[in-house]
Amino acid sequence: MVNKATRPTDGIIGQDLWNIQLDEQGQLKHFLTIEGLGTNILNQILDTAESFAGINESVKKVPLLRGKTIVNLFFEASTRTRTTFELAAKRLSADVLNMNMSTSATSKGESLLDTLRNIEAMQTDMFIVRHADSGTAHFIANHVAPHIRVLNAGDGSHAHPTQAMLDMFTIRRNKGADFGRLRVAIVGDIKHSRVARSQIHALNTLNTGEVRVVAPRTLIPKDVEAMGVNVFYNLAQGIQDADVVIMLRLQKERMQGALLPSEQEYFQLYGLTEERLQLAKPDAIVMHPGPINRGVEIESSVADGPQSVILNQVTYGIAVRMAVISMTLGGNTGNAQAQKNQEQT
């Protein structure tokens, strides 16, 4: 297998991007991007999530973050990310404030920073931010009070780090911890996908055997090979012998101009059907971050079929987000089982 992993640079925000994510002890302080984080941090997230996954299956709540207040600031639509962040925070016993940004005072002309100052004044501890503009979570992290933690819940086409980590968790649960044995194919609109970027960084940091991207030329970003992937323009070749096939939706809201002839033609060339899935390894898993578009990037019988782990990804998102929230807010993550016992008594 070929792994051309290189240390990436971040063209959008700059070289200092990763520094503000870590404190002086090298512990996670904000979670804005996978870039610049070492294997140790990614494995710490996965291991911590594993301890929370067990708790989620039984007692469902630990008192780790009692007294903390977490604010969901979603400037862009979300089903899975917003709700699983909310569930994660509640299962850690934090208070959760869901701001409806379409009805907040930013729609009356208040600046983003003034809105943030006001939410800070409510003695809050964490902002979870989704925004259509790349770099927004990073901008906010640079301007909040020192005690506030910021998590990126997706910024433009830049990054979606908790999605990538729940995807890594799903792969680890199904395929084991040795990513070096794995061939992972990411298929679809790579160019506009923050999920794909974060997945590629995470897979390479975890030393995945081979990372492939599969798409029409118009949906492959320039210089993508520098991110340490092999590029395929043909679906059959791209998923051949893959252990993991990750399908992505067409990000039409971020496309400028006609990059595709039609959705029907896209499905004919790049849609994952039962027949095509047979080209991957017999035990390959099929993933998708959602929302899925049936009949565009994936056939319904594959999305709902025995190799699909799409809904498991959603479930694991709670444990992974619990891990990231508790690590950044300084909860005693190593003592999750003791916390569970305390709750039960």
What CA–CA distance (Å, rounded) separates 266 from 292?
A: 15
Considering only 78, 98, 106, 335, the residue that binds ligand CP (CB under 6 A) is 78
154 belongs to the binding site for ligand CP (CB under 6 A): yes
Residue listed under structure tokens 């390894």: 281
Helix 194-205 / helix 39-57 crossing angle, nearest 10 deg = 110
188 belongs to the binding site for ligand CP (CB under 6 A): no
Considering only 3, 69, 80, 233, the residue that binds ligand CP (CB under 6 A) is 80
254 belongs to the binding site for ligand CP (CB under 6 A): no
- Establish whether the linkage from the previous residue to 282 is cis, with ω within 30° of 0: no
Considering only 290, 319, 321, 327, the residue that binds ligand CP (CB under 6 A) is 290
Who contacts 248 (Cβ-Cβ below 8 Å, separation ≥6)? 186, 187, 188, 189, 190, 193, 195, 196, 288, 289, 297
Smallest distance, ligand CP to C-beta of residue 297, A: 14
Segment near ligand CP (CB under 6 A), from 60-68, 140-148, 215-223, 284-292?
A: 284-292
Smallest distance, ligand CP to C-beta of residue 133, A: 16
Question: Do residues 65 and 325 make contact, with C-beta atoms less than 8 angstroms apart?
Answer: yes
289 belongs to the binding site for ligand CP (CB under 6 A): yes
What CA–CA distance (Å, rounded) separates 32 from 51?
A: 23
Smallest distance, ligand CP to C-beta of residue 74, A: 9
Helix, coil or strand: residue 75: coil
Question: Do residues 190 and 221 make contact, with C-beta atoms less than 8 angstroms apart?
Answer: yes
36 belongs to the binding site for ligand CP (CB under 6 A): no
Question: Do residues 267 and 297 make contact, with C-beta atoms less than 8 angstroms apart?
Answer: yes
What CA–CA distance (Å, rounded) separates 183 from 209?
A: 6
Segment near ligand CP (CB under 6 A), from 53-61, 78-86, 112-120, 135-143?
A: 78-86
31 vs 232, beta carbon nearer ligand CP: 31
Segment near ligand CP (CB under 6 A), from 34-42, 53-61, 285-293, 298-306?
A: 285-293
81 belongs to the binding site for ligand CP (CB under 6 A): yes
Number of residues that bind ligand CP (CB under 6 A): 9
The residue ranges that bind ligand CP (CB under 6 A) are: 78-81, 154, 163, 289-291
